[in-house]
Amino acid sequence: MEKVNHYKTISQLHQASNYLPPVHPLMSMVTCSDLVSCSLGESRFSSDFYMIGFKKIKSGHLLYGKTKYDHDNGSMMFAKPRQIIEFSNVQFEERSFVIFIHEDYLAGHPLHDLIRKYGFFEYEINEALHLSPSEEQIMWDLYEKIKVEYNNNPDEFSREIILSHVDSLLKYSDRFYKRQFINRSANVSGTTIKRFQSLLDHYFESGRMKKDGLPTVNHLATELNLSSRYLSDVLKVETGKTALEHIHLYLVDEAKNQLLSSDSNISEIAYQLGFENPPYFTRLFKKVVGMTPVQYKELHLN
């Protein structure tokens, strides 16, 4: 199987794509000119950031995992962290844009939780969001507003203004998707990763982490009527990561948010996330992020 290159930073993706360095290390905006072929990184890759794009494709193809993405003219694409994406000989007919937002840019902000609720970031939705001319104009207007603030000298309001426009773009996308599928059946089966993620969300939101401890692969597999080995094998094929790795990433993502949005100390956050042993929480966090929770909080709050 072809290697999946993973980009932890937007700068790495820019370098691999022969783009200029991003203005901001945790966010980037790329506009492709008319009839210009735009490539992104390696042919198959995953990343630690969200991608929101508008594109009209003349040739080539785009895949999410093994699912071919429908790219009729005037369509939006959405990708979340650690999705496997493939761009192959993509050439755009008209102006297109892509916004990259690192998950750390959202930490401590309401959009951190809200963005995960949008189903169109799930790759089993393999039909693009098709836009009417008036809807296209709305998206371009929001993109330009984000771009103006992005290129402006940053101050204490910059992040809030940028994310408010991103929030509007996502809300409009949600509205347009509902309009597009209003006459279609809502009974669409999800992939294993979506069902697995939903279980994790429910486990956390119901308070079970604090009550029952960390969710195990065996427990989640049982809920999905699968063996734990089969669950991990399926997730590995679909995403390149095992079930346990997904649990760890989920816990670290929640920890990042709590570190920046609450006054709880490291031990309190560890217990809230189901860790009986705070040092184990710190070791796991450092293994995934590359720094301790204290270092992460100091870095992003200072």
Structural domain spans, the chain: 5-130, 192-301
Q: What percent of the chain lies above the pLDDT cut of 90?
A: 35
The strand pair at 5-7 and 44-47 is best described as parallel
Q: List pLDDT tens digits, range 41-94.
A: 556 788 999 999 887 666 666 665 545 554 544 588 888 898 877 766 666 666
- Please give the class, per CATH, of domain 192-301: mainly alpha
Same CATH topology for 5-130 and 192-301? no
We find that the CATH architecture of domain 5-130 is: Sandwich (2.60)
**185 falls in which pLDDT band (50, 70, 90)?**
very low
88 sits in which H/E element:
strand 85-92
- What is the residue-averaged pLDDT of the chain? 81
Q: How many CB atoms lie within 10 A of CB 26?
A: 20
25 CB-near residues (< 8 Å, 6+ apart): 9, 10, 11, 102
Alpha-carbon gap, residue 251 to 235, rounded angstroms: 17
Whether the CB-CB separation of 31 and 56 falls below 8 Å is answered with no
pTM flag (> 0.75)? no
Question: How far is CA 223 from its chain centroid?
Answer: 25
Per DSSP, the residues of 151-213 read HSPP-TTHHHHHHHHHHHHHHHHHHHHHHHTTTS-S--PPPHHHHHHHHHHHHHHTTHHHHH-
Q: List pLDDT tens digits, range 138-149.
A: 999 999 999 999
Alpha-carbon gap, residue 280 to 79, rounded angstroms: 31
The confidence score (pLDDT) of residue 100 equals: 95
Comparison of pLDDT for 192 and 138, the residue scoring more? 138
